[in-house]
Amino acid sequence: MIPLRESFRDIPLYSPPKRPCRVDLSDNTNLFGVPPAAERVLRESRPESLSRYPRGYAPDLRNVLASRLGVGAACVTTGCGSDDVLDSALRAFLEPGEVLAFQDPTFVMMPLFAKVNGLKTAPVPLRADFDVDPEALLATGAKVIYLCSPNNPTGTPLSRAAVEHVVEKAPGIVIIDEAYVEFSSAPDFMDLARTRQNVLVTRTFSKAYGLAGMRVGWGVGSLALIAEVEKARGPYKLTTLAESMAVAVLREDPMWVEVQVVEARRNREHLRAELMSMGLSPLPSEGNFLMVPMPDALGVAQRMRERDVNVRAFQGLTGVGDALRIGSGPWPMLEAALAALRESLR
Ligand code: PMP
């Protein structure tokens, strides 16, 4: 018998069902393809460079991001996906046994990261309008509060007033996860990361930027806050190739990103109209996906998978119940999903 860690026994392995599928709308990635600059970097990359470590802490990417935001490079951190930035931030600011508060429902990895880091969790239900309840979050007394806007899996944004209230009164750090912010017409919260000592805003190249497979995420905060996250993260979380691609896409492909974002949003609204005409009630979304409450979502998703379409099913979500989350992308993919859904609803 190997000596296992007691608190790990009930931690599930994060593994949403995935098998090759003709149409995969399950993970909110960019379904339009890969940005041309990333393909160029791949073509031109020199294999010799791969035998050496990358430069520590991804300095080129930090510099490019920082100069775009008008902050110092020391106010930016990067990681192996924004997953890694979030996980590092929990380690940086919470001792094992301390509490992470978060809106519920939200990104499913957060409670998992909390458990792996030996933390207690305080889920706080979103209000009926899907905004956060600042007083309820603050009443947890948690040293770190996690917010997500637009929120995964609901797609709903948080209001400025509620987020500012939390930031103003929080006893510790407030993390604002903006993984889907490029798709949103609601204002973002990056200014809070620039001006408040206690705010970390995280973003990713996995969604609008089309680089989920390269694993690049980043975060912005005050000098003192980012210094701690950098300690927790370790030096080599970005590969040489990932850093080069992210920098190239930022420099060369802003229009490519913008065009895909516009299309994903337009198709999301077209999908919404079609779903409503089927009698369904998708939640208002500012992400590149729609949350569609329905009974027996697991069964419906299973039948859609049999028709070669993969969407994500949720069961018993706080304030939502059972629901399907359907990613937005090229219209033919969404048409295929609609056809499979029509056949799968019983
Ligand atoms: N935050 C949210 C809200 C997400 O939905 C995801 C991915 N599903 C992430 C963070 C992590 O993305 P990545 O690690 O690919 O940057």
**Ordered structural domains, the chain, with CATH:** 17-30+255-344 (3.90.1150.10), 36-252 (3.40.640.10)
Tens-place pLDDT, residues 224-280 = 999 999 999 999 999 999 999 999 999 999 999 999 999 999 999 999 999 999 999
* Closest ligand 1 atom, residue 180 Cα: 3
Q: Whose CA is nearest to atom 5 of ligand 1?
A: 152
Contacts for 298-305 with beta carbons within 8 Å, 24 or more apart?
298/322, 299/346, 300/324, 300/341, 300/344, 300/345, 303/340, 303/343, 303/344, 303/346, 304/337, 304/340, 304/341, 304/344, 305/17, 305/19, 305/21
Burial of 165 from C-beta contacts in 10 A (0-12 / 13-18 / 19+): middle
Could you count the other beta carbons within 10 Å of the beta carbon of residue 252? 15
* Model confidence at 12: pLDDT above 90: no
- Sign for the pseudo-dihedral over CA of 284, 266, 151, 325: positive
The one-letter code for the residue type at 217 is G
**159 DSSP 8-state letter:** P
Q: Which residue has the higher pLDDT, 10 or 121?
A: 121
Q: Confidence band (pLDDT; 50, 70, 90) for 28?
A: very high
Tens-place pLDDT, residues 246-261 = 999 999 999 999 999 9
Q: Is the CB of 83 under 6 A from ligand 1?
A: yes
Distance 58 CA to ligand 1 centre (A): 19
Judged by average pLDDT, the poorest of 3-7, 16-20, 54-58, 304-308 is: 16-20
pLDDT at 19: 75
What's the CA gap between 316 and 308, in Å, rounded?
25
* Model confidence at 17: pLDDT above 80: no
Q: Is the CB of 81 under 6 A from ligand 1?
A: yes
Distance 277 CA to ligand 1 centre (A): 31
Report ipTM (2 d.p.).
0.99
